[in-house]
Amino acid sequence: MINPPGALHTKDLDAETRKEAARIAQACGFKGLANEIEKPWREGWRTIVGLTDGQVVAVVFGRTHNEYGESDWRSSAHDGPQGWIDELAVDPCRRRKGFGAQMVLAFARAACEDGSTFLCLKTSPGLRDETGAQGFYKALGMPRLHNEDAIFGEPILDLLTRRG
């Protein structure tokens, strides 16, 4: 399938997109994500890149399938297998074009394919305002599950039915 000019195409990170994905993460201030991208693939973790016109413009990284035990604080969000977005970065010059939402949906589909039924994420402490990450996830319609920890999440099928 050929994408129209400017449309976002998503795919798993590969050797061809690794360096550009790390550059996007760095540009967004996610040094930890840039370092993770440089590491070899780990079971249960996935990095998806978003490209427009052949150029990487976004990256999302996290676990697409986790089964947490009852003692884990994350298990209170959902009893079944969970996908967790650890980082989402969109090229600062390409924001407000819907790419972030498309990356969340691509990750949700990947998590669903890997057996997860619920998608969660926790915003960084410095991004707890309505204009940053919290406002973005709220605009996506993702419910806030824990106020103190700024954790958002919902069943993957609900998200995909509503948004994509």
pLDDT tens series, the chain, 164 aa: 555 667 888 898 888 888 898 888 888 887 777 677 766 566 678 889 999 988 999 999 888 776 654 334 444 556 677 888 888 888 888 888 889 889 999 999 998 888 888 888 877 655 545 557 777 878 888 877 766 667 777 888 888 887 76
Domain residue ranges of the chain, discontinuous segments joined by +: 9-163
Q: Do 94 and 56 touch, CB atoms closer than 8 A? A: no
- Left if phi > 0, otherwise alpha if psi is -120 to 50, otherwise beta: which for 96? left
Residue 71, pLDDT score: 35
Q: How many CB atoms lie within 10 A of CB 124?
A: 12
Residue 75, pLDDT score: 45
Residue 51, pLDDT score: 92
How far apart are the C-alpha atoms of 48 and 106, rounded to whole Å? Answer: 8
Q: How many CB atoms lie within 10 A of CB 52?
A: 19
To which residue do tokens 């709220």 refer? 138
CATH code at 9-163: 3.40.630.30
Angle between helices 31-38 and 18-27 (to 10 degrees): 170
Alpha helices in 6-155 (DSSP H): 18-27, 31-38, 99-113, 133-140
Residues in the chain, total: 164
